[in-house]
Copies of this chain bind each other. A is one copy, B any other.
Amino acid sequence: MNSFVSFLDKSPDLIRQIVEDGLAIKSGSRHPENLTGKTLGMLFFNPSLRTRVSFDQAMTRFGGQALTLSASGDVWNLEFADGAVMDGTTVEHVKDAAKVLSRYVDALAIRSFGDLKNLSDDLQEKVLRSFEKYAEIPVVSMESACEHPAQCLADMMTIRERHGKERVKFVLSWAPHIKPLPMAVPHSALLCAAHLGLDITVAHPPGFELADSYLDYSRSVASSFGGSVKVSHDQDEALSDAVVVYGKNWAPSSAYGDPTRLASMLDAHKDWLVTGDKIASASTLLHCLPVRRNLEIADSALDSPQSAIYDEAENRLWAQVALLDHVFSS
């Protein structure tokens, strides 16, 4: 059964094949057969625009159907602890929800952001892994606490479209924000470049480290394809010879649960705003969207010729068709 919860579970070869399939589907040279007549249940614990619409259309355009459920409102408040005496606010155990939905739909896509209370908790991916444990059908991530695989596939497609199989310099640059954001997208941006074998610099202010497990895994995958991963605290230097720039905010896990410290850490680095000037010598700017314009990335960068943000968003659709075609292939 082809669940797809984390890149870390999957061979780089499979991932690269899905990306190539996405490119072929987009160009019309490959026609996915496995979505026909299938229903994808989509369960959202968090809001979504791109993900909701692009997964829906991925299914619909190739003969399937998507069924959207909001975890707050449409379904019952879920219990995740095995053996719990459910005399509190939870109404249904994830075991029962997963097993019942398995009788109605063909795969289950789930979006569940992290709590941002404790990085090691977030890394356990309680929600996604619980559904994966109990479901009798494939489970697909639509962004979890620490990873956004569908975004990652779309990002890989976008770089492949713009730079072929060239080993270019990829910079993931931290960018400012006013709220604590999870690490799912930066982790996936890192995985994206690693699986393409690029020369990666992760640039962020001190204290904003990504999770070691994602750094280590990406370093290993990148090097297996001839690439590399380094970390820098100097945005200007990192961007000076970048070819692909991925701008994105994330919160420092050291400040999880400490709003005062978090606010002060965010406030201290507003000059990390990614501007048109800073990416002037680069070829491609990526961002997963939504983006807070002129706080995180400036209009001068987002609306520049280097900006690939709308192609990247469109590639969500094609990458997900390829992903779902794989998920439904067995």
Contacts and interface: CB of A to CB of B under 8 A. Distances in A.
Interface string A49-66: 110111011001000010
A85 B49 contact: no
A90 B295 CA distance: 11
A31 to B, nearest CB: 15
A57 B293 contact: no
Contacts of A39: 57, 60
Interface string A268-298: 0000000000000000000001111111100
A263 interface: no
Nearest to A83: B299
Interface stretch (A71-79, A116-124, A137-145): A71-79
Given A105-B53, A295-B85, A91 B48 contact: no
Given A69-B49, A293-B86, A54 B104 contact: yes
B87 A178 contact: yes
A99 interface: yes
Main secondary structure of the interface of A (DSSP, over half): mixed
A67 B56 contact: yes
Most chain B CB atoms below 10 A, which of A90, A290, A294:
A290
Nearest to A65: B60
Nearest to A317: B104
A56 to B, nearest CB: 6
A84 interface: yes
Nearest to A292: B86
A8 B108 CA distance: 37
Contact of A47 (B73, B302, B309, B310): B73
A103 B299 contact: no
A293 B69 contact: no
A40 B60 CA distance: 12
A49 B92 CA distance: 10
B310 A100 contact: yes
A91 B74 CA distance: 23
